[in-house]
Chains A and B, each alone.
Chain A
Amino acid sequence: MSFILGLIGFLSLVAVFLFFRSSEILSVAKKRISSSFEDGKNHINALSGVIFLVLSTIGIIWYSYDQFDNYFLPMASEHAPEIELLFWVTTAITFTVFILTQIVMFYFGYKYRYKKERKAHFYPDNHKLEIIWTVIPAIVLVALIGWGLVKWNKIMGPPPEDAEVIEVVGYQFAWASRYPGPDNELGNSNYKLIDVENIVGIDFSDSSSLDDFMPREIHIPKGKPVLFKIRARDVIHSVYLPYMRSQMNAVPGMPTQMWFIPSKTTAEMREETGNENFNYEIVCNKICGRAHFSMKHTVVVVEEWEYIKWKNSQKSWIEKNPDYYANFIKNNSTDIAVLND
């Protein structure tokens, strides 16, 4: 296979070279190479520009229309439509500018291609024009920024008081999650307590950590604010939920957070996408090493009543790992005070 490919490559190189040499010799013989640099292939190049423009515009519009459902993800959080509206308005503006400028440019290229008898128009500046195309973009940009910042401050602002708090911890190459349990308070954690079993380093000397539980999948309720408290254990990761239009980096040594309100349950989304295996997933979106591409965690969005039922059925971590807790108490009884400082 590769031998054939190599041979084809080599032969085509030889063919190109022979063609090149013969055409060069021919043009010298025919004295086609003029001493004046203007006599080139102006017409064909100008025309090619226009053809390129037409074909690529058709291609872009066709693909954008035809494949819309493929590249536009359904939205699954309450702020997602707000981001998307701004996205699409920006798209409308930029696409218009894009098409218009390219049309004008390639059209000028064609219309004003070199002709021996014509002389270019000496036109060094026009302050009025320049002011116009300084001020108009500036105004449009101010509008986009203003709009963007209002939404940014809302989405990135402080979460509602009643938000469900869930800790999300990234490590090479998986995610872990921890819920505060019935007391609604996440217990302390300390990276020095991390080991094979206690993967997020829960500090059990803090009484509020005793009822914390760590499920295999994150469950969140539809229609309620959810606050992710994000940590990383080793390198930087990024919590990315494309359907929720939410993303935040997980940084070792610097807790971060993000919040959103889910607006579609997993079941609803399965119906909408027609994919019965559909699941929301946290995907890692910051390069983090060998298995970066497979670092993900399932997120299940359910109705609020289902969520409460699920939550109440969860066993706390120490309930699941009684031996670990017993050992912890035994080993750390003296150190705990130090650690807590």
Chain B
Amino acid sequence: MGVTKTITTKTNVKTDEHHDEHHDQSFIRKYIFCEDHKTIAKQFLITGIFWAIIGGAMSSLFRIQLGFPDFDLTSLSPVIGNWLTPQGKIDPEVYLALITMHGTIMVFFVLTAGLSGTFSNYLIPLQIGARDMASGFLNMLSYWFFFLSSIIMFISIFVEGGPASGGWTIYPPLSALPQAVSGSALGMTLWLVSMAFFIVSALLGALNYITTVINLRTEGMTFFRMPLTIWAFLVTAILGVLSFPVLLSAALLLIMDRSFGTSFYLSDIYIAGEALSNQGGSAILFQHLFWFLGHPEVYIVILPSLGITSEIISTCSRKPIFGYRAMVYSIIGIGALSFVVWAHHMFISGMNPFLGSVFTILTLIIAVPSAIKAFNYIATLWRGNIVFTPAMLFSIGLVSFFISGGLTGLFLGNSVVDINLHDTYFVVAHFHIVMGSASFFGLFAGVYHWFPKMFGRMMNRTLGYVHFWITFIGAYLVFFPLHYIGIAGFPRRYYSFTNFETGRIESFIDLNTFVSIAAILTFVAQFIFLFNFFYSMYRGRKASSNPWKSNTIEWTTPIDPGHGNWPGKIPTVKRWPYDYSKPGAKEDFIPQHIPLSSTKESNMPEDEHR
């Protein structure tokens, strides 16, 4: 990387031929208002990590309340002073605020922005062979809208009345009426404003990902030669573009109801000694709008993880991913079906039971492509030569969670079984395993796997193993017991069970304590990862250019790729990305840019179609 040329980024992206240059950029342009997709990805990652710490700490706080109801938190009062009752317990409304913010932060700020934002940004240009995103400027805006949204959400934690506390699903009228709960005052306003900016960020990002994947693939990179990561990111981005605007409209109508006296969601309400004049609105309308985003959202969260692990499992098994095309069609199928299952969150909301029947059918259909994916992962392991890197362990962990959490979906998706399980801890167990843990494991796997590309150094492997085993066992110990509590009919979002059904309070005291200990230990163990992450960034072992002997073309860039990714020409792609352990080949991997003509010894008739 030598000569400095003064051409704009725009031309860089378009002209493949002469681009091997670094601009001498100011600090601000290089690290803050940067248009390089790699830097933006790291910005998303660091912000996501920040939010994950906040979200995790919140869960530890409310797990103390659930597991140790008599625990005196007074000693924490310098940090969380006015959140406590005089007895040193968490205030009931603060408890609701904590679960609300925990959900919001984890779903949107960590597992949407932190996951998609990081890996779509980082991997799309590198794996399809592009200089950068289609629009570096919009990409930069996407991060800074997210940053703005983060700031507002963060401020909302400290305002008078506390942050939003109607649950992360913010169902009105609870979220619409400040009389109903104090978090529905300023805290809720800030929540809505923050989410509006978040949606802008998500849309800018997603439009960029889609455009980039469609238009900027390098020569030879046909759609069916794209790694599964890219397929997952592409479908995720499409889901985002189609569903986030609906959340914006839902939020906008809620803002109107809250601040401008409309009645979109409000009708016949008597609260705080007063009959409100709102009439004709429908509280159910909000749920339809919310879940029209909300359900695709859970796939926005899980699909990138599935893409990441497909790549890692194949690489570390030294085998092609089993059923590549089936995997692609499953991703597309899951994406398409995710738009027609939203009302399974509403079986007992009071909507017409016939609608419930329709959504039961559609919901259980989506289990089929999910099952295909799980089986294909396992088939990829079969007769592989499995290298257990930390990334591989987290990928296997993801498959384990994806299966165990996915299966409980068969209960909740079947409307009649859902009658008794709806809004109980069974639901909490289900989505924390299949969406929370599985996606988090995809995120971890991705960080461990692409860390050498991101920072030019390796993460410490032993710490990775320790981190994996504590987290994997810990997550099961936290979430599996919740199934039992749910089957027993314990409602979620309960501050305490002291008043719950005479004689049943003792049922799960021990189990709740156990879960809380496991949760707090698992949370603390994440600091092993944080240490490893930041320490390795500066002191880790220097990485080689292709440390995992991987096929995808991001590993053909220099160890520390500059803006523009490849010095000189972008490599052209000659084959699919999964030629691992091909019979007859010299090595157990053949990168995508190696032409078939130079691997005559291992070519197969099918190679023409790959």
Question: Which residues of A are interface residues toward B (Cβ below 8 A)?
Answer: 1-3, 13, 16-17, 20, 23-24, 33, 35, 37-38, 40-42, 45-46, 48-49, 52, 56, 60, 63-64, 67, 70-73, 83, 86-87, 90-91, 93-94, 97-98, 101-102, 104-105, 108-109, 112-115, 118-126, 129-130, 133-134, 137-138, 141, 144-145, 148-149, 151-153, 155-157, 171-172, 191-192, 194, 196, 201, 230, 233-236, 238, 240, 242-243, 245-249, 251-254, 256, 273, 275, 277-279, 281, 283-294, 296
Q: Provide the bound-state CA to CA distance between A286 and B549, in Å.
A: 51
Residues of B within 8 A of A278 (CB): 502-503
Option from A114, A234, A236, A240 in Cβ contact (under 8 Å) with B489? A240
Known contacts A148-B415, A152-B360, A292-B493; is-contact A287 B269 (Cβ 8 Å)? no
27 contacts between A and B (CB under 8 A): A2-B76, A41-B461, A45-B388, A46-B388, A63-B481, A83-B417, A90-B410, A102-B400, A113-B388, A119-B588, A120-B317, A122-B580, A123-B382, A125-B323, A126-B379, A130-B372, A144-B410, A149-B361, A234-B270, A240-B489, A247-B419, A249-B348, A256-B350, A277-B502, A290-B92, A293-B494, A293-B496
* Contact A137 B419, beta carbon cutoff 8 Å: no
Known contacts A156-B356, A192-B275; is-contact A253 B281 (Cβ 8 Å)? yes
Q: Provide the bound-state CA to CA distance between A238 and B372, in Å.
A: 36
Q: Provide the bound-state CA to CA distance between A40 and B31, in Å.
A: 35
Report if B13 contacts A (CB, 8 A).
no
* Contact A71 B487, beta carbon cutoff 8 Å: yes
Residue in chain B with minimal CB distance to A238: B423
Rounded to whole Å, the gap between the CB of A122 and the closest CB of chain B is 5
Residues of A within 8 A of B173 (CB): 234-236, 252
Residues of B within 8 A of A115 (CB): 385
Q: Provide the bound-state CA to CA distance between A191 and B276, in Å.
A: 9
Report if B408 contacts A (CB, 8 A).
yes
* Contact A245 B349, beta carbon cutoff 8 Å: no
Q: Provide the bound-state CA to CA distance between A257 and B542, in Å.
A: 66
Rounded to whole Å, the gap between the CB of B581 and the closest CB of chain A is 4
Binary flags per residue of B293-327, CB closer than 8 Å to A gives 1, else 0: 00000000000000000000000011111111110
Residue in chain B with minimal CB distance to A291: B92
Report if B167 contacts A (CB, 8 A).
yes
| Interface range for B | 35 or more
Q: Provide the bound-state CA to CA distance between A126 and B544, in Å.
A: 35
* Contact A152 B415, beta carbon cutoff 8 Å: yes
* Contact A86 B317, beta carbon cutoff 8 Å: no
Complex interface residues of chain B between 509 and 544 (CB less than 8 A to chain A): 527-528, 531, 541, 544
Q: Provide the bound-state CA to CA distance between A293 and B494, in Å.
A: 5
Closest 3 CB pairs of A and B: A253-B267, A242-B489, A2-B75
Residues of B within 8 A of A122 (CB): 319-320, 580-583
Binary flags per residue of B142-156, CB closer than 8 Å to A gives 1, else 0: 000000000000000
Q: Provide the bound-state CA to CA distance between A6 and B269, in Å.
A: 49
Residue in chain A with minimal CB distance to B181: A289
Rounded to whole Å, the gap between the CB of B347 and the closest CB of chain A is 8
Q: Provide the bound-state CA to CA distance between A129 and B501, in Å.
A: 50
Rounded to whole Å, the gap between the CB of B177 and the closest CB of chain A is 7
Report if B460 contacts A (CB, 8 A).
yes
Report if B393 contacts A (CB, 8 A).
yes
Rounded to whole Å, the gap between the CB of B167 and the closest CB of chain A is 5
Q: Provide the bound-state CA to CA distance between A247 and B486, in Å.
A: 14
Q: Provide the bound-state CA to CA distance between A3 and B414, in Å.
A: 50
Q: Provide the bound-state CA to CA distance between A156 and B354, in Å.
A: 9
Rounded to whole Å, the gap between the CB of B31 and the closest CB of chain A is 28
Q: Provide the bound-state CA to CA distance between A99 and B235, in Å.
A: 31
* Contact B420 A35, beta carbon cutoff 8 Å: no
Option from B350, B376, B417 in Cβ contact (under 8 Å) with A87? B417
Residue in chain A with minimal CB distance to B476: A56
Known contacts A42-B388, A67-B484, A141-B410; is-contact A251 B284 (Cβ 8 Å)? yes
Rounded to whole Å, the gap between the CB of A197 and the closest CB of chain B is 12
Residue in chain B with minimal CB distance to A246: B419
Q: Provide the bound-state CA to CA distance between A17 and B531, in Å.
A: 9
